[in-house]
Amino acid sequence: MITDIQTFFRELANSGINLTIFYDAFDFERFITGLGNTVLLILASTFFSIIIGAIGAAILTSGRGFSGFLVRSYVALFRNTPLIVQMYFFYFAIGSIMPVGQNDLGLPDPLLGSFSWAVISLSLYAGAFNVETFRAGVGAVHGSYEEAALALGYNRRQAFFAVTVPLALRFSFASLANNLVDLTKATTVAYAVGVAELLYVSNQIWSDSLNTIEMMNVMLVIYLVLTGAVVFIINRVEAAMRLPGFGLGDSQ
């Protein structure tokens, strides 16, 4: 079966459509590695950006002191500067002053590699947007729900985490989906610091095989699938967490 597929794509290459990733083992291995690294970037950055967003929104909601100032400054900085500049800053500026160890061959071995810096940059960048998403969700919860929780004997902290936060999360899903779709597409910027993600390996493949158009179309389809999967998962989670009165089409 595999041999038949490889034969088909070899013959297809003779007609001008050269998809080497389907019949050349070396290109296939490179491509799968890049796709895997892209998926790992998406998963790790999504997880950490949501954590950052939730913590930042909680700080902005519960306090307006120095901690609130720090969060607002972080949001302003990361939302208003290009992602590639942030990634260069972390990788070249911060990375250059980080401790350096030695590998088994006695050569310098950075404490954090390009993949780790890419995850840090993407997480902080998307986290800044998630802070505002979750903060807006908290602001959309009517104060009467907190008052009802207080009347039932909750203190303000308990009311916030047990009542306000679950409702705010439901209000945040639509905006969160947009943020995570943007994050999925933004993983291509990791190419700039040498992460072997999908764009990086695709560039290597089309440089070696001169099949730029074919690889561009393959990348387009894959990113459509990846962003579609992100939206699908969020929609499923949103549907599972929907409460009467808190979703479109629900009765009040």
Annotate 43-93 with DSSP letters as a single string. Answer: HHHHHHHHHHHHHHHHHHHH--SHHHHHHHHHHHHHHSS-HHHHHHIIIII
Q: Give per-residue burial for 228-245: e unless 16+ CB within 10 Å, then b.
A: eebeeebeeebeeeeeee
**Residue range 19-36, pLDDT digits in tens:** 899 988 999 999 999 999
Q: What is the pLDDT of residues 101-146, one digit of tens each?
A: 766 666 667 778 899 999 999 999 999 999 999 999 888 888 888 8
pTM: 0.87
pLDDT in tens, 38-55: 999 999 999 999 999 999
Question: What pLDDT does residue 142 have?
Answer: 81
Q: What are the domain boundaries of the chain? A: 1-13+20-241
Q: What pLDDT score was predicted for residue 252?
A: 39
Q: What percent of the chain is predicted at pLDDT more than 90? A: 55
Q: Which fold has domain 1-13+20-241?
A: MetI-like fold (1.10.3720)
Tell me how far the alpha carbon of residue 76 is from its chain's centroid: 19
In tens, the pLDDT along 236-249 reads 988 888 776 655 44
pLDDT at 251 over 60: no
